[in-house]
């Protein structure tokens, strides 16, 4: 690691730790006693620290990972009898998890970038990649994500739950031994039940796609095969059709899913053997559900499993709200005709990949049907005016037509969020070799005439279709089983999505392909060079994202600390607004 890169990483750690510690201090000074669900969490943690392992609070629905973590940290204090343990101590143990987040986020971002350089990942095509300075900047932004940052100061499960999922993801990206991936998955299950989806379905799905792509390195699936050619190649050669998102149409998502399924069936041993640890994790969770008689541990009456497909409508405007600085170029390129936009502000893949009418209309119809038949409102949502979702649903339910008018917004938000994973197609630099649009191999399966293999004027970037399919499957499985809508439930889906966002260079697309690679240490030999990287190649959206997150964190923090109110039924007790 070059000195300048090490200095930037250290600065990122210090900045996140400073901001998290400051927020923790403000909360502790203003709200020293347990607040809301902290009452149950702190009480349960005290039972474990005091050795009462047979006591379980019936109001707690999540596994005991948070309390076990605090118990381990409390061992030295208990051994030397430093005195009673108060709420502050338990909040500090949770803050410890927050201070580890920059480490795992940075490692994931650099692992993704390195894999991208080698063009080996399920979501890699390394024509355009983030610079190291941008990766460090993105890591800071991710740690400032408002629904996550807010809980740095409270004793909730969300921070450590997200951290353990990211640790498992990092181990997968680094190709660590299956045992360590399995162990990380088991630890993650101790913090939240839905983590089972992310450490088994999501990572297992990525492992399946990777095993298919690496199965036949001696043959190639052509760039734009017909459906029949794709099926033949998938069955005869176990190949999968997996185009970059920036080049994919709606049909490509269907074709890719079918292609991977057929390729897996054609070579079961290659496809399934790497999935062993993920199957064991999924079986472990299934056994727990059977033993427990349900997903949640306590309060089963108010947390009944249900099919709530509307969750997959709400997740998209949530992403747009928090990540507007990242997604606004895609929205602008759709809302405004390209002829009215400056050339430097056009994303070449945006309008050309906009869903066509014969596909958009059925999708909107399905979304409308979900809004009509499956809009579930949990009693807790409208009974507790301390949460922001209370006010959102008050608006949605104000008039019967509002939930239908929101459907086009869901559709546009979903398109923008997925398009951002693909980045943009950028102008080809004269010195670059023509890219090969490969599904997973190196020898063509059909003949093409010379006119069809000329160097394309644009190069793809960002994730591939298979990553979107796996991520969508995991997100759906983790959300649709709960009728309660909370921003906290969107934290892990957002983190995985945000970690895989592709860069764009609206100010100079011709320079995008020459962005410094993180593997090129010569880019990091001096601070002067780092300054050049920040100003010459830095994606401007990162600065906007930093400002946006700081504004939201400051606003929600101020409201929580200074805008308390009282309920008539609980006089003298301060109620506070929170996520």
pLDDT of residue 24: 96
Which residues are 220's β-sheet partners?
Answer: 444
Chain-centroid distance of CA 371 in Å reads 24
Rounded CA separation 163/166 (Å):
5
Radius of gyration of the chain (CA): 24
Q: How far is CA 77 from CA 84, 86, 100, 155, in A?
A: 9, 12, 22, 19
Sign of the Cα torsion 301, 306, 312, 313 reads negative
pLDDT of residue 271: 80
Q: Is the separation of the CB atoms in 108 and 173 below 8 Å?
A: yes
Query: What pTM does this model have?
Result: 0.87
Sign of the Cα torsion 73, 74, 80, 83 reads positive
Query: What tokens appear for 389 in the block?
Result: 């979702």
Rounded CA separation 481/180 (Å):
29
Residue burial 324-358, b: 16+ Cβ < 10 Å; e: rest: ebbbebbbbbbeeeeeebeeeebbbbbeebbbeee
Rounded CA separation 359/253 (Å):
12
CA nearest to 549, candidates 11, 139, 155, 10 = 139
pLDDT of residue 540: 83
Q: Which residues of the chain have pLDDT under 50?
A: 119-128, 426-460, 507-516, 519-530, 532-533, 535
Running DSSP on this structure, what letter comes out for residue 202? I
Give counts: helices (H), strands (E), the chain.
Answer: 26, 4
Rounded CA separation 332/327 (Å):
9
Q: Is the separation of the CB atoms in 130 and 112 below 8 Å?
A: no
pLDDT digits (tens, 9 = 90+) for 59-71: 888 899 999 999 9
Rounded CA separation 107/111 (Å):
6
Q: Is the separation of the CB atoms in 518 and 129 below 8 Å?
A: yes
Q: Is the separation of the CB atoms in 332 and 347 below 8 Å?
A: no
- Token match 């409201």: residue? 559
SS (H, E, C) 468-525: HHHHHHHHHHHHCCCCCCCHHHHHHHHHHHHHCCCCCCCCCHHHHHHCCCCCCHHHHC
Q: Which residues contact 99 (CB under 8 A, 6 or more apart)?
A: 16, 17, 20
């Amino acid at each position: 690691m070059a000195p300048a890169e090490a200095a930037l990483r250290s600065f990122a750690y210090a900045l996140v730790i400073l901001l998290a510690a400051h927020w923790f201090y403000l909360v502790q000074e203003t709200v020293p006693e347990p607040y809301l669900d902290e009452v149950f969490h702190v009480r349960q943690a005290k039972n474990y620290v005091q050795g009462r392992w047979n006591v379980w609070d019936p109001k707690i629905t999540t596994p005991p990972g948070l309390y076990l973590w605090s118990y381990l940290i409390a061992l030295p204090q208990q051994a030397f009898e430093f005195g009673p343990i108060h709420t502050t101590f338990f909040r500090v143990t949770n803050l410890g998890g927050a201070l580890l987040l920059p480490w795992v986020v940075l490692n994931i971002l650099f692992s993704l970038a390195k894999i991208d350089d080698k063009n080996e990942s399920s979501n890699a095509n390394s024509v355009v990649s983030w610079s190291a300075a941008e990766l460090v900047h993105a890591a800071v932004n991710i740690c400032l994500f408002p629904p996550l940052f807010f809980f740095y100061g409270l004793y909730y499960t969300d921070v450590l739950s997200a951290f353990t999922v990211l640790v498992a993801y990092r181990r997968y990206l680094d190709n660590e031994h299956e045992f360590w991936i399995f162990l990380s998955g088991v630890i993650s299950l101790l913090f939240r039940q839905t983590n089972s989806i992310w450490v088994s379905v999501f990572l297992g799905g990525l492992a399946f796609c990777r095993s298919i792509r690496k199965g036949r390195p001696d043959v190639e699936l052509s760039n734009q095969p017909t459906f029949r050619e794709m099926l033949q190649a998938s069955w005869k050669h176990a190949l999968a059709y997996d185009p970059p998102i920036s080049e994919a149409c709606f049909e490509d998502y269907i074709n890719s899913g079918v292609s991977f399924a057929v390729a897996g069936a054609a070579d079961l041993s290659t496809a399934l053997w790497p999935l062993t640890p993920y199957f064991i994790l999924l079986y472990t969770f299934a056994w727990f559900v059977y033993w427990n008689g349900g997903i949640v541990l306590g309060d089963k009456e108010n947390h009944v499993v249900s099919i709530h497909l509307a969750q997959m409508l709400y997740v998209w405007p949530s992403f747009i709200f928090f990540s507007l600085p990242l997604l606004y170029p895609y929205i602008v390129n759709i809302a405004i005709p390209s002829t009215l936009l400056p050339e430097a502000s056009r994303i070449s893949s945006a309008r050309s990949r906009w869903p066509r009418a014969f596909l958009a209309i059925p999708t909107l119809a399905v979304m409308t049907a979900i809004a009509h038949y499956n809009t579930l409102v949990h009693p807790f949502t409208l009974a507790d005016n301390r949460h922001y979702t209370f006010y959102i649903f008050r608006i949605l339910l104000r008039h019967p037509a509002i939930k239908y008018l929101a459907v086009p917004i869901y559709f546009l938000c979903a398109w923008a969020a997925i398009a951002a994973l693909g980045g943009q197609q950028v102008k080809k630099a004269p010195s670059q070799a023509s890219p090969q649009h490969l599904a997973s191999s190196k020898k063509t399966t059909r003949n093409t005439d010379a006119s069809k293999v000329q160097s394309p004027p644009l190069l793809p970037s960002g994730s591939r279709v298979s990553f979107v399919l796996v991520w969508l499957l995991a997100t759906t499985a983790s959300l649709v089983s709960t009728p309660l809508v909370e921003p906290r439930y969107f934290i892990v889906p957002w983190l995985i999505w945000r970690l895989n966002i592709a860069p764009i260079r609206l100010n100079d697309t011709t320079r995008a392909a020459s962005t410094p690679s993180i593997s090129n240490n010569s880019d990091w030999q001096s601070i002067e060079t780092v300054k050049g990287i920040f100003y010459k190649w830095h994606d401007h959206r990162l600065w906007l994202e930093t400002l946006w997150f700081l504004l939201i964190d400051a606003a929600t923090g101020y409201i929580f600390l200074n805008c308390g109110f009282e309920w008539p039924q609980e006089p003298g007790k301060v109620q506070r607004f929170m996520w």
